[in-house]
Amino acid sequence: MEFDPQRLAQARHLLVFTGAGVSAESGIPTFRDALSGLWEHFDPARLATPQAFREDPALVWGWYEWRRLKVLEAQPNPAHLAIAELARRVPRLTLVTQNVDDLHERAGSSEVLHLHGSLHTPKCFACNRPFNGQLPVPELPEQGASLEPPRCSGCNGKIRPGVVWFGEALPQQALKDAFKAADECDLLLSVGTSGLVQPAAQIPLRALHQGATLVHINPQPHTCSAPGEYSLVGPAGQILPQLLRQAFG
Ligand code: BV8
Ligand code: ZN
């Protein structure tokens, strides 16, 4: 059964849930393929941890600064722009992202719920104070390299990326708001996520189980297990603008 784009035009409360795939067409490597060059022999799940930062702060800080540089150099793609446009078309839209880039904001989306934090809010590893300095555009050789993290002006601790590492708790308020939206929405678009990481991966399932329609948008087909679940196969940068044209003309 095909998904009827009119469902989008009739949505009362739309939840858009995004993963790294929504930024892929902006040239931002997804989490799995973010490890090239210097880091290719590292497992991201091992590098994105407090332990890795404790063991080798310069290696971890260098990796995140390389990724932040990639984001600074990138532009929002048609998928980000279509999501920002959707907020102007439906009565209510909640945007929940697993991504740590600011491309949704730069595309014009507001009130973005970041379940895994952001590359743009560094903080102190020791006292948790936000870093009040200005991060320079990192001078990194292409493949990146180790880079000593700056120091906290309050306690001289090492500054860390403002992301949620494996083993760390998600921001409570963002998670609460995301679960509430999953319980209330009548349509959820899950865009560019492999759905591997918990507890974020619960969001689409929670919506489906309360009776919302769930649509996966991904070049990888998704085996749909329930009525009300659909899989649109292709890149988000093509599928989303096409959906908007079909739904709103
Ligand atoms: C927690 C920030 C407890 C950092 C990230 C065993 C079983 C189950 C769970 C666990 C387990 N062992 C440990 C856990 C828990 C663990 C977890 O889920 N591990 C997984 C790997 C099994 N979770 C945690 O640790 C979480 N915390 O549980 O804390 C706790 C509670 C209380 C108190 C203390 C502790 C924290 C998880 C957050 C980790 N941080 N990001 C950073 O970015 O560096 S997660 C990171 O990986 C990303 O944010 C993303 O969410 C996730 C997946 O990355 P990718 O695979 O790259 O992206 P994605 O999944 O989105 O896949 C890309 C998709 O896009 C693909 O499907 C591809 O086909 C598609 N695509 C490609 N191109 C396109 C496209 N789609 C559309 N268009 C395209 N053009
Ligand atoms: Zn500090």
CATH number at residue 222: 3.40.50.1220
pLDDT band of residue 137 (cuts 50, 70, 90) is confident
pLDDT digits (tens, 9 = 90+) for 224-242: 989 999 999 999 999 999 9
- Looking at residue 29, its pLDDT comes to 83
CA 155 to centroid of ligand 1, rounded, Å: 31
- Partners of 233 in the β-ladder: 218
Phi, psi of 229 (to 5 degrees): -115, 135
pLDDT band of residue 139 (cuts 50, 70, 90) is confident
How many domains is the chain built from? 2
- Looking at residue 185, its pLDDT comes to 98
Q: Nearest C-alpha to atom 76 of ligand 1 is from which residue?
A: 192
Q: Are residues 176 and 243 in the same domain?
A: yes
Q: What is the pTM of this model?
A: 0.96
Q: Are residues 43 and 140 in the same domain?
A: yes
Q: Are residues 186 and 242 in the same domain?
A: yes
Percent of the chain with pLDDT over 70: 94
- Looking at residue 43, its pLDDT comes to 78
Q: Nearest C-alpha to atom 34 of ligand 1 is from which residue?
A: 169
Across the chain, mean pLDDT equals 93
Q: Are residues 135 and 153 in the same domain?
A: yes
Instruction: Report whether residue 100 contacts ligand 1, using a CB cutoff of 6 Å.
Output: yes
Q: Are residues 179 and 237 in the same domain?
A: yes
Higher model confidence: residue 179 or residue 47?
179
Q: Are residues 18 and 136 in the same domain?
A: no
Choice among 116, 120, 209, 216 that is catalytic: 116
Counting other chains too, the contacts that 177-180 makes at CB distance below 8 Å and 24 or more residues apart are: 177/94, 177/113, 178/94, 178/96, 178/113, 178/115, 178/203, 179/203, 179/206
CATH number at residue 135: 3.30.1600.10
Q: Are residues 178 and 217 in the same domain?
A: yes
Q: Are residues 152 and 205 in the same domain?
A: no
pLDDT band of residue 45 (cuts 50, 70, 90) is confident
- Domain residues for the domain of 159 are 29-73+118-163
Higher model confidence: residue 63 or residue 96?
96
CA 137 to centroid of ligand 2, rounded, Å: 22
Q: Are residues 131 and 204 in the same domain?
A: no
Nearest to 191 by CA among 245, 229, 237: 237
